[in-house]
Amino acid sequence: MKSLDELLQASADQHRHLCPRQVLGVRMGLLAGRLLGLDVPREDKRLLALVETDGCAADALAVATGCRIGRRTLRVIDFGKVAATFVDVQTQRAVRVAPRPSIRERARVYAPEAKGLWQAQLLGYQHMPEEELLSAQEVALTFSLEKLLSKAGYRVTCQTCSEEIINEREVVQDGLILCRACAGQRYYRPVAEPAPQPAEIAMTSVEN
């Protein structure tokens, strides 16, 4: 198991600097591993991280845990919070870890030499006791873990656009197998396609 200093250095190497949120991300990952009884960072896919924001905290958390988007062991569920839920996919135990609300002010106590608040957070978060820095609670997922992880090698073809769909992300509408875009859940619009009129947008919002 790597030390805090080693993990912080690895995170800093990725970002070319170290910031307070990277420290939080690393310490969150270490706490989650300890609470779930798992050594981190991991080489296997036993640990799943559901991160509630993108950015440097998520990258640091990945360094600490070994969870990666490319390995399908890290997902961003964007709530705009520096927080994450960690799941042992073997036992399905899950813990949510988040910084305590008062840590910005408390950081100065642990870094009296800091010249400003940012530096106090950077240094203080490294030295603050775990129980004072972070909160953790055991949680239960509100969705199917099996559905999220899906099956190896699973694939179907959208019957409208003919693009391949993996990981059971298809939608069945009126007996047709569709990708989410063709089912009306697009996040993009082809430039050649007319933009919806304001009235159409308002009606869609009401219907949804």
pLDDT the model gives residue 64: 98
What top-level class would CATH report for the domain 4-147?
Answer: alpha beta
Task: Give 131-140 pLDDT, tens digit per residue.
Answer: 999 999 999 9
Q: Point out the residues of the chain with pLDDT beneath 50.
A: 203-208
Q: How many CB atoms are closer than 10 A to CB 198?
A: 8
Assess contact for 89 and 62: CB atoms under 8 A: no
pLDDT the model gives residue 59: 96
Domains of the chain, residue spans: 4-147, 151-207
Task: Give 41-64 pLDDT, tens digit per residue.
Answer: 999 999 999 999 999 999 999 999
pTM of the model: 0.88
